[in-house]
Structure 1
Amino acid sequence: MSTSASPQHRPLRADAERNRRRLLRAAREVFAARGLDVALDDVARHAGVGVGTVYRRFANREELVEAVLDEGVRQVAEIAKDALTDDDPWEAFERFFLEATAMLAEDRGLREILLLGGHGTGAALETAQALLTPRVDALIERAQRSGQLRDDLEPIDFPMIQLMLGAASERSRDVEPGQWRRYAGLLLDGLRTRRDGPTALGTPALTGNEFYRSMTGHANESAR
């Protein structure tokens, strides 16, 4: 009986693996900037290869999206795991809250799959549920037991809060990419039980003109 690896599981040649990693990096950048509804031609162009190279490495668009988003989901899960090593329950919760929000604010594709679902990425969502849910639940439970996090916060509130912050990020990203930090500070103050005053907000509020540009720019883009 032959012991050689099957074609599906045979390790890629070094140049083929480099091309695969190059495509994944390009896809991650394109999905982060534009979301998941982009053509493979756009990914290939960003990677500097022909679209045929994409299809040689990935059977279809869904397989490429799955590979890219699985990597992102695992990174968010690792943030939660690292936060759980913090001895202070509130600092652990706050650390994960801000680091996860920063990642989702900068990565539109990851935000779409984690918070909105769809796009044929069932495996990525299963990974998110298996890795993220128990860790986020533990972060919330620890902070509540310590009396630092309001006890009426439910784990399901977390993705809803991220949806709000994601909307703020999407609206203001072309005017002030870090604007979400202001609202994250406001939300954290609302979530924490504290007596020592409010958290310093990470960035000033938009001016009236900046707010108008954010709103009208998004509306014009949506109408295209």
Structure 2
Amino acid sequence: MSRRTAPVQPAGSPPRTRPLRADAERNRQRIIAAAQEVFARRGLEVTLDDIAHHAGVGVGTVYRRFADREALIEAVFDSEIQRVVTLAEQALSHEDAWEGLVQFLTLTGRDFAEDRGLKEVLLEGAHAQNRVATTRERLTPALSALIARAQQEGSLRNDIEATDVPLLQLMIGAAAHHTLAVTPDLWQRYLALVLDGLRARREAPSPLPHRALTQEEFDQAVPKTLPPRSVADRTGDR
């Protein structure tokens, strides 16, 4: 009986990627689901040990599927941060510019209130830098156009800039985080106050005591909003 030999891969061709076995894929999906829950509740500074424990697998299994925590963060939030861009584009297509802006701030406010990890990855910019930078490149033009439309129709005060919006979202997200265990929907109260302050009126609004950040200043400021990780956090990833 002749032995079958494996087919020879042509020289110079890219290596073939073998699909994951069914059990390996189940573990991968279990890890992602566990990470979504842990990141949403506790933020991104948890360790891979925490996620492995929540998933019911060994930390070695996590490292076999994901090279490090950044790779896991990107896998978890890839679709979520793209969804924020879609929300901005949908708001821009709204017939009423003010209602489009309210829709965007309300839907993203709920997302950030319910998912601490999403707030941190998108608004605080301490993780998944390449993915977040790409998202901002798509988000900023839509958001700038949305603001310009609302100002042109006279519903939004004229001194608001695109860089104001993510910082306002960060403020509302912080309120949501601190009150989540007591009253999960309190963030809506502060969103209403923010919207009231954004709305243009016949009488002149109170002048703002400081100019808005430039885009360059915003990019410099945002990654510094998270405190440095402790030694215990860093060693927990090993």
Give ranges in structure 1 of 5+ residues lacking alignment.
196-224
Q: Distance in 2 between matches of 1:34 and 1:54?
A: 19
- Pairwise CA distance, 1:154: 0.5
1:149 paired with 2:177, answer: no
Q: Distance in 2 between matches of 1:167 and 1:118?
A: 16
- Pairwise CA distance, 1:82: 2.2
The residue identity in structure 1 corresponding to 2:159 is D
Partner of 2:121: 113
- Pairwise CA distance, 1:152: 0.8
Show the 5 A alignment for 1:100-139: 100-119=108-127, 121-139=128-146
> Higher relative contact order by CA 8 Å / sep ≥ 6: 1 or 2?
2
Q: TM-score, normalised by structure 1?
A: 0.78
The counterpart of 1:26, out of the listed 34, 51, 54, is 34
Contact kept? 1:26, 1:46, Cα under 8 Å: yes
- The structure that has the greater radius of gyration is 2
Q: 1:137 is paired with a residue of what secondary structure?
A: helix
Partner of 2:100: 92
- Pairwise CA distance, 1:144: 1.2
- Pairwise CA distance, 1:110: 1.4
CA RMSD of aligned residues (A): 2.1
Deviates more, 1:108-117 or 1:143-152: 108-117
Deviates more, 1:59-68 or 1:175-184: 59-68
Q: Distance in 2 between matches of 1:87 and 1:10?
A: 48
Q: TM-score, normalised by structure 2?
A: 0.74
Point out the structure with the larger helix share. Answer: 1
Q: Distance in 2 between matches of 1:4 and 1:11?
A: 18
- Pairwise CA distance, 1:15: 4.0
Cα 1:12–1:163 change in 2 (3 A) is same
- Pairwise CA distance, 1:51: 1.7
The residue identity in structure 2 corresponding to 1:122 is Q
Q: What's the % identity of the aligned pairs? A: 53
Q: 1:110 is paired with a residue of what secondary structure?
A: helix
Cα 1:11–1:140 change in 2 (3 A) is farther
Contact kept? 1:35, 1:108, Cα under 8 Å: yes
Deviates more, 1:14-23 or 1:90-99: 14-23
- Pairwise CA distance, 1:17: 3.2
